[in-house]
Amino acid sequence: MSAHLRAYRLHVPPLLADRGIDEVIAFTVPLTVRFRGIEVREGTLLHGHEGWGEWSPFWDYDPVESASWLRAGIEGATEPVPAPRRDRIPVNVTIPVVDADRARTMAAQSSCTTAKVKVADPRSDLREDCRRVAAVREAMPAGRIRVDANGAWDVETAVRAITELDAAAEGLEYVEQPCPQVEDLARVRRRVDVPVAADESVRRAEDPVAVARAGAADLIIVKAQPLAGISRALEVIDAAGLPAVVSSALDTSIGIGLATHLAAALPHLDHACGLGTLRLFRGDVSDSPLTPVDGYLRPQRGVVDVVADDPDDDLCPRWAQRLDLTVAAWAEMERRRP
């Protein structure tokens, strides 16, 4: 067990026990850099007869949104994974908001041939973003570079920023979620030559296929936890009819392992997947974390090596209460399912 990781056993709610969950472990682990506005990753692991699933919604998600993540965790622990179509998954290195020198080093040391560079963060302006992207290009002269704006721009800002970032990269593979609204994604897509990928407009949308119907994206980013599991994610990909990039929701090795099975099951996989994010963690729930080797991961289930301690005065009550609220929301959603 990593010295950076804390893990504590929680009470298993009756509704989860009835569906085959026999153990719930809460965990917390610091990140190597600030990412998605957080410096510590927290969540839970669920155990069932098929192994381990992960439930790790972010703290700003309410019980209803967290319920989709819970469904994914239950599926991961209690249902078999789909048959694979491939035995290895190409992955990108994720470059957070760091200075150009560190970005260059992270890209060079990654063994990946694709890099995803975070941009449009409040801590970084467009000039700094361009320097970061250019540094990654220096480290990957023949590689692919994609950027992720997390919906930070309006249409005019997006068009200008994409043009400058495309020049700095000497050609972007795509830009991920430049604007928050589907209609704005469509406007940007009509005005730039760089392909547009939708992330938040898929995983946080009431209708994850709306972005495809609106002609607002060239490809979609798919994450198993937010989309309620592998089965539902495959349905969304099929309905959207667009190329898909399977990515992490900043998961541990358990979530990453299940995501590799989602990527392995896709009919087509034309882009590197965003599943190399364990490099952003200072520890993991496994002594054998699922990190890329020569730019690839193999489809596998993550293994939990942590030994859960007695309940923690701070960590456990917060997660126990959140779990109870989310289980209630999930049960209501299941009751209403046709």
Q: Are 243 and 237 in contact (CB under 8 A)?
A: no
Give the single-character DSSP code of 249. Answer: S
* 116 catalytically annotated: no
Tokens matching residue 243:
């190329």
Three-state SS at 329: helix
Q: Are 27 and 43 in contact (CB under 8 A)?
A: yes
d(CA 12, CA 184): 43
| Angle in degrees, 0-180, between the axes of helices 230-240 and 63-78, rounded to the nearest 10 | 110
d(CA 223, CA 314): 29
Q: Which is it for strands 93-95 and 244-246: parallel, antiparallel or unpaired?
A: unpaired
Residue for token pair 């043009």: 163
Q: Are 175 and 154 in contact (CB under 8 A)?
A: no
Set 41, 47, 118, 187: catalytic member: 118
Give the single-character DSSP code of 221. Answer: E
d(CA 274, CA 119): 16
Residue 23 counted as an annotated binding residue: no
Residue 176 counted as an annotated binding residue: yes
The neighbour count for residue 141, using CB atoms within 10 Å, is 7
Give me the phi and psi of 246, to 5 degrees please.
Answer: -80, 130
| Angle in degrees, 0-180, between the axes of helices 126-139 and 100-108, rounded to the nearest 10 | 30
Residue 199 counted as an annotated binding residue: yes
Q: Which is it for strands 51-55 and 38-48: parallel, antiparallel or unpaired?
A: antiparallel
Sign of CA dihedral 328, 233, 186, 173: positive
Set 71, 137, 223, 271: catalytic member: 223
Residues known to be catalytic: 118, 223
Where is the binding site, in residues? Answer: 148, 176, 199
Where is the binding site for Mg(2+), in residues? Answer: 148, 176, 199
